[in-house]
A and B are shown apart, each in its own frame.
Chain A
Amino acid sequence: MSEAQAPLHHRFHLNMGPQHPSTHGVLRVILEMDGEYVLNPQPVLGYGHRMQEKMAEARAWPGFYPNTARMDYAGALHYNHGYCALIERLAGIEVPPRAEYIRVITSELNRIASHLLWYGALLLDLGAFTPILYTFDDREQILDILEDITGSRLTYCYFRAGGVSRDIDDKFVERTRAFITRLRSRFPMLEKLVNGNVIFLKRVEGVGIIDKDMCQRYGATGPVARGAGVPYDVRRAEPYSVYPEFDFEIPVGENGDSLDRFLVRFKEMEQSLRIIEQALDRLPDGPVMAKVPKKLKLSPGDVSFAVEAARGELTYYLISDGTEVPYRMRIRVPSYSNLSVLPELCHGMLLSDLVAAMGSLDLVIPEIDR
């Protein structure tokens, strides 16, 4: 029934969240419902706001390291990376090549872990319980590998301005190689279980179409934009670290529906594996930490740095007044822009389709609220 025909007394409001299994965090969406159809969904943010930007402005810059990981708990290393690279750019610190390689390897492992988590969670939202158990099994291997060198399982605080806090050893290299083989052998299984499943395809095909124009208007990045056919990836568009040295593809979709976003992330895992493999093959020797003065005053001026996080473009922007404490810190997070498409995207959708479309955006709420 179209909006104009619907008698108004059939309309009602429905709160999805703040505690709802499919929002994966404290996100509240106010839905105006017309029967089973959603009109004008409005996200309400701020339940997990912790003033991360303000905290950065209230302490000497090294004190912000642990905070970076608390924004996106599923892809913490990318947040570590962005912040350290920002400081390095401002202070003109050269990072030793070995440290850059370690950063790339661990970041890509983290990207895979994040995608595996999302993969299982999306299917859980769609009502399939089994796949998350398989992807968690694989993700657990990554967490074990990363725990062994970073010391923590989720909220890593591993990168430092000038390098990384601990060198990797042969055991790490060996385990990572074993993991690459293992995950590659699991892809066909996941394809059989999920990607070809008729129920899954019916739930996501043609649902939640985001086109290029919409991506541009809302600033959507990452797999959301790539699913719409925009081949934008910061690792290519604005290369940082040692990414230009590796050969990898940027998967893009065609229609921009939920299925395309799903497939883009699925293919990205293989690309990340390729990057890790190349990086392990060419891993240089040397120190993992540059000489950085204990007390480093940030030179006055402003600087920004963008990295490709698991969910899209993450930009740190810092204004310094010449002291140790940043004068202003601004963090542009990908999920915020990706979420902002929701009202337009889901207007007039079935409620169950909204869950599928929202799941395909891969939202991490603490990152949006930050």
Chain B
Amino acid sequence: MSKKGYFTELYVGGKSLLVGLGVTFKACLQPIVTVQYPREKLDITPNYRGHIELRRDPESGECPCIVCGMCARACPSGCITVEGEKKEGEKGKTLTVFALDFTRCSLCGTCVETCPKGAIDFSQDYNIAGFTREEFHYDLIRRLEERG
């Protein structure tokens, strides 16, 4: 390599490093883009697909599930268990068990799409942690009652 080539390269290379440094320096003066989680939290979108949850019909205030079991059959991972029983004086079946094994759920949304009554919806929970598998076996009827 000739002397000139060497010095040109030194100059061009050195300059490129300074230009890059300039970019970094400018970024130092710009507003912070990260969020100081967990002290600060971002709102998540209402369209977020968390684990599924039973929902109430806004008019009657009751869960419209008719225990048809279509969600359980459509789930590719087989994580939904639905059971119901026939009660005296009531039309159709009443929901007695609606269990979700969240450890196997892949959050695909097939169950929500298949439900003919719109009885299930996605929850907004994302901060979920636990020590045992059983903590992720959800009893959705109880959760619905707790939500009031």
Which chain A residues have a beta carbon within 8 Å of chain B's beta carbons?
A: 59, 62-67, 70, 130, 134, 137, 144, 147-152, 155, 157, 165-166, 189, 192-194, 196-199, 294
* Residues of B57-108 whose CB lies within 8 A of A: 74, 76-77, 106-108
Instruction: Check B19–A196 contact: CB distance below 8 A.
Output: yes
Instruction: Check A66–B108 contact: CB distance below 8 A.
Output: yes
Give B30 Cβ to nearest chain A Cβ, in Å.
10
Give Cα distance in the complex from A41 to B122, angstroms.
47
Query: A166-B47, A193-B24 given as contacts; is B17 within 8 A of A66 (CB)?
Result: no
13 interchain pairs, CB-CB under 8 A: A59-B76, A66-B76, A147-B47, A150-B49, A152-B48, A155-B107, A157-B107, A157-B109, A192-B20, A192-B23, A196-B19, A198-B14, A198-B16
Instruction: Check B23–A65 contact: CB distance below 8 A.
Output: no
Give B53 Cβ to nearest chain A Cβ, in Å.
14
Contact with A along B5-35 (1 / 0, CB 8 A): 0000100111011011011100100000100
Additional 5 contacts, C-beta under 8 A, given A152-B48, A196-B19, A197-B17: A144-B45, A148-B45, A150-B49, A151-B109, A157-B108
Instruction: Check A151–B23 contact: CB distance below 8 A.
Output: no
In this complex, what residue of A is CB-closest to B21? A193
Inside 8 A of B24's CB, which chain A residues have their CB?
A: 130, 193
- What interface size band does chain B fall in? 20 to 34
Give Cα distance in the complex from A189 to B19, angstroms.
10
Give B9 Cβ to nearest chain A Cβ, in Å.
8
Instruction: Check B13–A152 contact: CB distance below 8 A.
Output: no
Instruction: Check B20–A65 contact: CB distance below 8 A.
Output: no
Instruction: Check B76–A148 contact: CB distance below 8 A.
Output: no
Inside 8 A of A66's CB, which chain B residues have their CB?
A: 76-77, 106-108
Which chain B residues have a beta carbon within 8 Å of chain A's beta carbons?
A: 9, 12-14, 16-17, 19-20, 22-24, 27, 33, 44-45, 47-49, 74, 76-77, 106-110, 113-114, 122
Instruction: Check A62–B19 contact: CB distance below 8 A.
Output: no
Instruction: Check B49–A151 contact: CB distance below 8 A.
Output: yes
Inside 8 A of B76's CB, which chain A residues have their CB?
A: 59, 62-67
Instruction: Check B19–A152 contact: CB distance below 8 A.
Output: no
Give Cα distance in the complex from A150 to B49, angstroms.
8
Give Cα distance in the complex from A65 to B112, angstroms.
14
Instruction: Check A199–B122 contact: CB distance below 8 A.
Output: no
Inside 8 A of A148's CB, which chain B residues have their CB?
A: 45, 47
Instruction: Check A137–B33 contact: CB distance below 8 A.
Output: yes
Give Cα distance in the complex from A361 to B12, angstroms.
28
Query: A59-B76, A64-B76 given as contacts; is B17 within 8 A of A198 (CB)?
Result: yes
